[in-house]
Amino acid sequence: MNTIEGNEGEPIMRTTDQTEADDRAADAANRLRWEIGNAITAYVRESGGTIEDAPIFPGAASTTTRPAPLDGIRAARRAARVAENEAHYSVRAARSAGLGWDAIGDALGIEPDHDSGRSRAERAFDECAPRPSMRFDTVTFGYTCGTCAEIVTDMGPYESHPHDNERGHAQTCARMNAEVAAWQERRDAEDAEYAEWEASQ
């Protein structure tokens, strides 16, 4: 068991497995950063850009090869667009698999906005859904349901009833029907709780 300090200085206990998993994640992030940098340099070189020697950090005597500044900017922007496309594909795949906007928001590192009252799910939808061509058109996110294979128009996690948030599922879609059944169960429980409270008054 290892102890680290949390945000408020309070100790947080971590198991050895958690520590090892965190270390592996940190190593993987460093490798990813390194591989992206190498890929950008390779792209600049192979596309006819300029590669030059540069200090490994300002004032250092040791140097490394890097793209010339403007070529590096162009290549990095291209890499960012590739990464953005990969993220968009993964979001669409997540919705197809039935994962909700809250889970997607968590993966994106989005937090709820307590000042405005906007949930993490709402903020994730706003970030991922493409802007409509006309200013006052409804913002939607399209994907293919992995259960019923129909094209679904997702209008965001704003309404209570699942049918008000997503349109296009087949009537026999087991996923949508399960969500509706869960919604009805919650509604019945709320009604029963209210009836019990009302009877006690």
Query: What SS3 state is found at 107?
Result: helix
Q: Is residue 24 part of a domain?
A: no
Q: Is residue 183 part of a domain?
A: yes
Q: Is residue 4 part of a domain?
A: no
DSSP code for 166:
E
Count of beta carbons in the 10 Å neighbourhood of residue 41: 19
**96, 119, 139 — which closes off a domain?**
96
Q: Is residue 102 part of a domain?
A: no
Contact 148, 172 (CB under 8 A): yes
**75, 96, 117 — which closes off a domain?**
96
Look at 3-12, 70-79, 156-165 and tell me which has the smallest mean pLDDT. Answer: 3-12
Same domain, 84 and 40: yes
Residue 167 falls in which region: left (phi positive, over 0), alpha (psi -120 to 50) or beta? beta
What pLDDT is recorded for position 25? 86
Q: Is residue 201 part of a domain?
A: no
What pLDDT is recorded for position 10? 60
Same domain, 91 and 42: yes
Instruction: Tell me the mean pLDDT in the region 159-176.
Output: 96
C-alpha radius of gyration, the chain, whole number: 24
Q: Is residue 101 part of a domain?
A: no
Residue by residue, DSSP assigns 54-97 as EESSTT-S-EEEEE-HHHHHHHHHHHHHHHHHHHHHHHHHHHHT
Packing angle, helices 69-96 and 16-46, rounded to 10: 130
DSSP code for 134:
S
Q: What share of the chain is helix, strand, coil (3-state, %, to 5)?
A: 55, 15, 30
pTM of the model: 0.78
Same domain, 90 and 133: no
Q: Is residue 72 part of a domain?
A: yes
Instruction: Tell me the mean pLDDT in the region 88-116.
Output: 96
Structural domains of the chain, count: 2
**48, 81, 96 — which closes off a domain?**
96
Instruction: Tell me the mean pLDDT in the region 125-129.
Output: 95
Q: Is residue 113 part of a domain?
A: no
Which structural domain range is residue 45 located in? Answer: 34-96
Residue found under tokens 């102890």? 3
| CA–CA dist 151, 115 (Å, integer) | 35
